Amino acid sequence: MIITDEAILRIPCVNAEPHEIVSIIEQLDKELALSPIKGIGLAAPQINIHKNIAIVRINDTLKINLVNCRIANKYDLEIFDGEGCLSFPGEYVKTMRYQEIHVVDNAVYPYSFIATGLFAVSIQHEVDHLSGRLLVDFSLSSPQKSTDKVRPNDLCPCNSGKKYKRCCKLNINSK
């Protein structure tokens, strides 16, 4: 069953051990398939397993298992309208997400790849879950983030705690 308790979802995850990976991915696939709401990704903490594992299933050919991964580089910060979460059914918000990311997956056999568009947004969403960060943390609809325009001295929408001009704006300008 997919967890909706915000306190449980905010617990940061720890790296998965090799012997845990297959079982957790099978559980994630099962829960995603059983969800009454069609979703494209699920992270282990959403089924009350606090391990760094998530899955993204955009369609039959675009599937990825994320195990002990991190986002190494991010490019092209833009507003994404309509991001939802299976842990917050029926809520769809505007967020600031990167349109291209470089993912380093540290599973049993480490590899890296570039993700773009909806695939990149989905991976960012699931990786956020692994750190205890939730969709509500990224919503531009909240009172402190009520505008689509981010000014240089505003706090960065990525929740780094830095000013936008010293954080994500640097990635945008360094293309």
Question: Within 13 Å, how many C-alpha atoms sit on residue 91's CB side?
Answer: 16
139/102 Cα distance (integer angstroms): 23
User: Is the Cβ–Cβ distance between 21 and 108 less than 8 Å?
Assistant: yes
Q: Closest by alpha carbon to 59, among 112, 117, 124?
A: 117
Q: Closest by alpha carbon to 127, among 13, 7, 39?
A: 13
Residue in the structure block whose two tokens are 């480490």: 110
Query: Among 6, 17, 91, 126, which one carries the catalytic annotation?
Result: 126
Residue 78 annotated to the active site: no
User: Is the Cβ–Cβ distance between 34 and 156 less than 8 Å?
Assistant: no
Helix (H) or strand (E) holding 135: helix 135-138
Q: Closest by alpha carbon to 106, among 52, 150, 171, 35?
A: 52
Catalytic positions, written as ranges: 126
